Amino acid sequence: MTSPEIKFSSDNTTLTCSLSGSWTTQELAGVIAQTPNKNKSGYKEQIFDLTAVEVMDTAGALYFLQYQDDVETSGQKTSLKNAPKHVRQILDTVEKHRIKECPPETTLKGVKKLLADTGESFFKIMAQGRELVSFLGLVLNAFGKQLINPKCIRWTPLIAQMEQIGIHALPIVGLISFLIGVVLAFQGAGQLERFGAQIFTINLVAVGVLREMGILLTAIIVAGRSGSAFTAQLGTMKVNEEIDAMRTIGLDPIDVLVLPRIFGLILVLPLLTFYADIMGLLGGAAMTMITLDLSLFQYIRYLQDAASLGDFFVGMIKAPIFAFIIALIGCHEGLQVSRSAESVGRQTTRSVVEAIFFVIVLDALLSILFSVMGI
Amino acid sequence: MPKGLKSQDFVISLKDIRNQFGYQILHDHLDLDIKKGEVLGIVGGSGTGKSVLMRTIVGLNQKTAGTIKILGQDVDQISQVELASLRQRMGVLFQDGALFSSLTVSQNIEAVINEHTKLPAQFVREVAALKIALAGLPVEAGSKYPSELSGGMRKRAGIARALALDPDILFLDEPTAGLDPIGAAQFDSLIAKLQDTLGLTVIMITHDLDSLHAICNRIGVLLDKKIKVGTITELTKETDPWIKEYFGGPRGRAATRSHD
C-alpha cells in the first residue's frame, strides 16, 4: 500500500492536481499534513487527475470533496479526469450523504460550565432527597400494614436475609473489631505512659469501643457488604424486569423485597454490634495484657470500673437507627436503577457512599446530643 | 481491484476448523470459503455455534484446530502488528450494537478513528457525521447517547461504528432480530446498499428468512458440526431433514413466495 499524494503541475491558468496512492482512513493523515493551502487559489481552473488512485475509502473521498469545495469557493472551476470506476462510485456515495455544515459542538466551557454543573447537581440532589423521602413514606406505609396484619410478614426471606447479613458477616466484623481494640490499646498505652497513667488505657478502650468504634465500624462494614448487596440485587432484578413482573403478578416489591431487608438489618445490626463490642474489648485485653502486664481477670475488674452500662447502651441505641438508614438507602438506590447494566454499578457505588456518609453524620449528631443530655 | 486482490480470491477461507469446549465439539473439519463482495447468510439451529463461528473468524474465540486465512493471510502465521492491521479491515455489528455507553454515537465512531490515525479533530468529526448519514441516521443522532436511542437506531449506530475504518469485511450478528418488519426491511436494504456502494463483503448470522431471500447471495447452514453452503435454490433441493424443514416449513414457504 502506498501513501496518498497530490502532485501539482501548472501552466498559467490551470493547475493539474494528480492524485495517487491509497486514500484510506489510515493513510490520510500524511496527505492532510502535506497539502499546502497556497495551491488552493490563484488559477482559473483546477483539474483533478485521479488515474493513479489505488483505493479510496469514505474518509478519503470526504477529504477530497472538501478540498474540491475549498477550491471552488475561491472562485475556480474544477473538473475530474480519468476517475476509475470504484473511485467514482465512492465519491458519488459520499457526495450524497455528506453534511456540508457539521453541527458545532454545543458544550459549555469554563465558568459557564462550572455554574451549569453546579446547578444541575444541586437540582439532582434535591430530587434525590425528595425521592428518598417519598420512598420512606412507602416503606412506613407498608410497615404499618404489616403491623396491623402480622400474617403478611414474610418470614422466609426475613430469616434468609438475617443469615446473609448477620451470620456471614461475623468473621469480618469480628476480625476488624478485634484489631481496632488492639490498635486503641496500643496507641493509648503509648500516649498515657507519659503521664504515668497507663492503666487508663482500659478506660480508653472501653469507652472508645463501646460508645463509638464498635457500632461505627460495624455499620460501615455492613453498609459496604449488605447495603451494596441490596442495591445490586434489586438493581439486577430491575434490569431483568423481574420487579415489573412481580407487580403484574400482584406482589408488592416493597413487601416482598424491601421490608425483609430493612427488618433483617434492624434486627441483626444490634446483635452484630454487641459481638463487635465484645471482640473489640477482647482485642484491647490482648494488647493491655502484653503492654501493661495484666492478667485477664485484672483487666475485667478494671473494665467494670471504667465502663458503665450507659456507655454500652449509647452504642447499642444507634444500631437500629443506622440499620434503618443503610437498608433504606440500599433498597432505594436499587429501585432507582434504570434498565441498563451500567446503572447497577453506578447506583451501587452511590448507595455505599451515601449510606456511610449518613451513618457518620448521624453518629456525630448523636454524639453531640448525648453529651448535651449528659449521658 | 483495490488493495491488491484478484477477483477470484477468497476474502476468508476456513480449513479444517475445529471448536471444542470441554467435551462438547461444536465444529469439526469445517471448511468455508467466502468470496469477495458477496453477502453470506449463516443459519443453523440454536446451539450449532453460529456466533462461535463468527467469533472464531474475528479472533474473539481461539479455535482448537484448523487454519483461517483472511484476505489471503493466515492469521496464525502473521505477527501481532499485521494481525492488528488485519483486524482494522473487519467491522463487527454485535446484536444490540455494543456501543460504548459512556460516549455519544459520534464519539463512539471518533474514538475508533482517533485510536488508529492522526487526523485533525474537526475532520474526524466530519467523517463520523458521514458514517452516521451512511447508516441512515439523522444528523442529531450523533450527539445522543446509546441509551437515548431505540433498538433499531442503536443497530444503525453500531453499523456506523463498524464502518468507522472503512473495513472490507462486515460481520453482522442477527441484524434484524428485535426489529419490526418495516424496520427489518429497511435494515436489509441498508445492508444491501452499503454492500453495493462500499464494495463490502458481508457475513451475517440471521434467522430472518426474509433477509436471507432479500439480500443474501449464498447461505451457509451449520449442520453436523460442518457448514453447507449454497444459494437458496440449491439448498431447497437438499434432502437433509433440517434444511428441508427450514426452507420448506410454513415460514420458509411464505418467505419464498413473497420473494418470487
| Inter-chain residue contact A103 with B129, CB threshold 8 Å | yes
- Average pLDDT (A4-8) is 82
pLDDT of residue A219: 96
Q: Cα-Cα-Cα-Cα dihedral of B128, B215, B168, B20, to 10°?
A: 110
Please state, in angstroms and rounded to a whole number, the distance separating the CA atoms of residues A353 and A365: 18
Closest Cβ–Cβ partner in B102, B113, B133 for A99: B133
Q: How confident is the model at residue A1 (pLDDT cuts 50, 70, 90)?
A: low
Q: Has residue A37 got a pLDDT over 70?
A: no
Q: How confident is the model at residue B180 (pLDDT cuts 50, 70, 90)?
A: confident
Which of A55, A97, A106 is the closest to B130 by Cβ?
Answer: A97
- Alpha-carbon span B9 to B49, nearest angstrom: 26
Which candidate from B142, B165, B199 shows the least CB-CB separation from A25? B165
Residue at B175 is within a domain: no
Architecture of domain A5-97: 2-Layer Sandwich (3.30)
CA distance A69 to chain B (A): 14
Q: What is the CA radius of gyration of chain A?
A: 36
In the predicted structure, residue A36 carries a pLDDT above the cut 90: no
Of B58 and A215, the structure prediction assigns the larger pLDDT to A215
A337 touches chain B (CB under 8 A): no
Q: What is the rounded distance in angstroms from the CA atom of residue B67 to the CA atom of residue B76?
A: 7
Q: What is the pLDDT of residues B200-218, one digit of tens each?
A: 899 999 888 888 888 888 9
Could you identify the residue written with the cell 436475609?
Answer: A161
pLDDT digit string, tens, across residues B114-155 = 888 888 888 888 889 998 988 888 888 888 888 888 888 888
* φ, ψ (nearest 5 deg) of residue B231: -75, 165
How does residue A227 score in pLDDT terms, banded at 50, 70 and 90? very high
Is residue A41 within 8 Å of residue A72, measured between CB atoms?
no
Rounded to an integer, what distance in angstroms lies between the CA atom of residue B228 and that of residue B221?
Answer: 5
B139 touches chain A (CB under 8 A): yes
pLDDT of residue A322: 96
**Would you give the DSSP letter of residue B61?**
S
Chain A closest CA to B117's CA: distance in Å? 6
pLDDT for position B210: 85
Low-confidence winner among A99-103, A106-110, A182-186, B58-62 (lowest mean pLDDT): A99-103
Please tell me the predicted confidence (pLDDT) of residue B1: 36
Among A74-83, A241-250, B40-49, which is the least confidently predicted range? A74-83
**β strands within chain B, DSSP E:** 10-21, 24-35, 39-43, 65-70, 73-74, 90-93, 169-173, 201-205, 218-223, 226-230
Cβ proximity of B204 and B91 under 8 Å: no
Looking at residue B4, its pLDDT comes to 44
**Contact call for B3 and A57, based on CB within 8 A:** no
Residue B132 is part of which domain span?
A: 100-166
Query: Between B119, B133, B147, which is nearest A28 by CB?
Result: B119
**Taking a C-beta distance cutoff of 8 angstroms, is the pair B116, B126 a contact?**
no
Are A93 and B134 within 8 A, CB to CB?
yes
pLDDT at B7 over 60: no
Task: State the ipTM, two decimals.
Answer: 0.76
Name the strand (E) or helix (H) holding B74. Answer: strand B73-74
- pLDDT 10s digits, B45-56: 888 888 889 989
d(CA B161, CA A66) in angstroms, rounded, equals 22
Q: Is residue A373 over pLDDT 80?
A: yes
pLDDT digits (tens, 9 = 90+) for A336-356: 998 788 889 999 999 999 999
Nearest to A62 among B101, B117, B126 (CB): B126
Per-residue pLDDT for B249 more than 90? Answer: no
Q: Which residues partner with B222 through β-bridges?
A: B227
Q: Which residue has the cell 458514517?
A: B131
Mean pLDDT (whole number) for B8-21: 84
Q: Which chain A residues touch B127 with a CB distance below 8 Å?
A: 25, 58-59, 62
State whether residue A65 sits within 8 Å of chain B by CB. no
Confidence of residue A102 (pLDDT cuts 50, 70, 90): low
| Secondary structure E strands in chain A | 5-10, 14-23, 45-56, 77-81
Query: For residue range A255-304, what is the model confidence (pLDDT) as tens digits?
Result: 889 999 999 999 999 999 999 999 999 999 999 999 888 899 999 999 99
Shortest CA gap A99–chain B (Å): 7
A121 touches chain B (CB under 8 A): no
pLDDT band at A38 (very low <50, low <70, confident <90, very high): low
Predicted pLDDT of residue A12: 75
pLDDT of residue A39: 66
Give the mean model confidence (pLDDT) for residues B230-239: 84
Per-residue pLDDT averaged across B224-242, rounded?
85
How far is the alpha carbon of A293 from chain B, nearest alpha carbon, in Å?
60
Residues of chain B contacting residue A66, judged by C-beta atoms under 8 Å apart: 123, 126
**pLDDT of A357 strictly over 60:** yes
Q: What percent of chain B has pLDDT over 90?
A: 8
Burial of B221 (0-12, 13-18, 19+ CB in 10 A): buried
What is the distance between the alpha carbons of residues B193 and B190, in angstroms, rounded to a whole number?
5
Q: Count of H helices and E strands in chain A? A: 15, 4
String of DSSP letters for B162-225: HTTT--SEEEEESTTTT--HHHHHHHHHHHHHHHHHHT-EEEEE---HHHHHHH-SEEEEEETT
Beta-carbon separation of A97 and B134 below 8 A? yes
Contacts of B130 in chain A (CB under 8 A): 58-59, 62, 94, 97-99
Mean pLDDT value across chain A: 89
Cβ of B166 within 8 Å of Cβ of A28? The answer is no
Number of structural domains chain B divides into:
1
- pLDDT band at residue A104, thresholds of 50, 70 and 90? low
Mean pLDDT estimate for chain B = 85
In chain A, where are the structural domains located? 5-97, 128-373
